[in-house]
Structure 1
């Protein structure tokens, strides 16, 4: 009855007999006491619906704010980071908040800590951020978490990260920037420097 009153106006009263035909009672036919009761109910419904609307808007504002401020927490694993991000996006989807896929993917990648920068760059070069989803990006990055953790540990040990960068070049030995999969012997052989002679 409340839903009906929201969609079609004040509460429709029960049917009455009129010349042998049953019909619903109209507002004008209500007694003074019934009209007061009906008006009061309608005002209560309006207030409830207004409160629901304000609560939804406030929740949406908080979710947009949480999305803007979302970042990696120090010491957090990639999986935990991914789960927190998934929960936020799911909450936004519940409220039908429209987000561009590119925007969501960019936020997911750019909020990772510096030790992931090498792989974030690789993803941006070789994945289409307009059509991929962040689940796919997470699955790709997860394969390289061990190396990212090694980079983080070395950075924490060295005050100045430059010596480590010079020694390690921050690149796994099997990395080939021209392929999305690092372990492809055919491509490595194809681009072998020995084919072109010494410089």
Structure 2
């Protein structure tokens, strides 16, 4: 006969997994992030939602990535036909709602994409 504590402990082991299982999960999530690419024929929104899921999984595993890096990775791994439809965007540092930090981050992203 199992006691309530035995059942609870078994459930906890099942939910958390072994330490080896945790490391496997972290490695799988990191690999998924590192190899992320939009798939051919996939809608832009579907790609974005799939990428957000990868980012959420990274956070759950304790990984932290800079927003600039996350945005750059997403943009860099879009389908070629999406990359070709670029628009010129003019942003002024004195625009309503903009802050110096936001403008600085935007400059970094533009420099990386150039």
TM-score (norm 1): 0.35
**Residue correspondences, number:** 81
Tell me how far 1:122 sits from its aligned partner: 5.1
Distance 1:59 1:84 in 2: 17
Matching residue within 49, 52, 77 for 2:43: 77
Instruction: Pick closer, same or farther for the CA change 1:65–1:129 going to 2, 3 Å.
Output: farther
Match status 1:90 vs 2:56: yes
Q: In the alignment, which residue of structure 1 is the partner of 2:71?
A: 105
- 1:64 alignment counterpart: 30
The runs of 5 or more residues in structure 2 that have no matched partner are 1-12, 92-101, 107-114
1:130-160: per-residue Cα shift (whole Å, max 9, x none)? 47xxxxxxxxxxxxxxxxxxxxxxxxxxxxx
Greater relative contact order structure (CA < 8 Å, 6+ sep): 2
Q: Is the 8 A contact 1:72 1:113 kept in 2?
A: yes
Higher Cα Rg, which structure: 1
> Which residue in 2 is equivalent to 1:52?
18
Q: What displacement does 1:99 show?
A: 1.3
The 5 A counterparts of 1:114-153 are 114-119=80-85, 130=105
Q: Report if the CA contact (8 A) 1:72-1:112 is conserved.
A: yes
String of CA shifts for 1:51-92, please: whole Å, max 9, x gaps. 632221111111111111110111111110011101111111
* Contact persistence 1:67–1:88 (CA under 8 A): yes
SS in 2 for 1:58: helix
CA, structure 1 residues 56+84, in 2 after alignment: closer, same or farther (shift >3 Å)? same
Q: Could you say what the CA RMSD is over the residues aligned between the two structures, in angstroms?
A: 2.9
3-state SS in 2 of match to 1:91? helix
